[in-house]
Amino acid sequence: MSELRPDLAIIAEWIQPGSRVLDLGCGSGQLLSLLREERQVTGYGIEIDPDRVLSCIQKNINVIQADLDAGLADFDDDSFDYVVMTQTLQAMQFPHKTLSEMLRVGRQGIVTFPNFGHWRHRVYLGFKGRMPVSKALPSQWFDTQNIHLCTFDDFEAHCKGRNITILQRDIVDHDHQSNILMRWWPNLMGELALYRFERNQLLD
């Protein structure tokens, strides 16, 4: 297996052995393959790119070729223990609906996304007056897939307003390293975030 992406390695540590996992935008199936081999996880991936779907099939990963913006209507409520979506939330047409669907079909959700509130982005926009380009956001405004950029504070406020409980958060830079400044001022200093969350059980 090729070297695991650092964010996927962190997510793998969050998932309990023997769980059922749905990986949205699963790519070549790297995460599901690792979870199956090391944590006896069963699950499915959803991916739109045909070459990546083929790669999943070659790894014996259960995969469905579909557009995530079409929703998860094919899955029943509480079908999975975890629903994972990495570096894709900001590219969804209706991210709030996607989060709701994740928590309908799964007991917990896990997402990762870049922070538009990072200090470099603020400085870039403030001084240049143009949409920021960085390692975390490498595309120009006209060819980016990111259509709903947000900050960590935006995401956490959304969760609070939708009665979603954040269980775990990891704030890192582009190389997936953390430091004390990110712990003190995550929304200013962090480039990428990983969140694990669930429905607020007290309000169900």
pLDDT score for 2: 52
Please tell me the pTM assigned to this model: 0.92
Q: Output the CA angle 64-12-22, nearest 5 degrees.
A: 25
Ordered by start, the domain boundaries in the chain are: 6-117+149-196
For the chain, 204 residues long, the average pLDDT of each consecutive 10-residue run is 77 96 96 95 95 96 94 94 95 94 97 94 92 85 86 96 96 90 95 95 58
Contact criterion met (CB below 8 Å) for 190 and 152:
yes
CATH number of 6-117+149-196: 3.40.50.150
pLDDT score for 84: 98
How far apart are the C-alpha atoms of 164 and 1, rounded to whole Å? 35
Percent of the chain with pLDDT over 70: 97
Return all residues near 138 (Cβ < 8 A) that are at least 6 apart. none
pLDDT score for 135: 81
Give the DSSP letter of residue 20.
E
pLDDT score for 133: 87
Query: Helix or strand or coil: residue 152?
Result: helix
Q: Report phi then psi at 202, rounded to 5.
A: -70, -20
pLDDT score for 140: 86
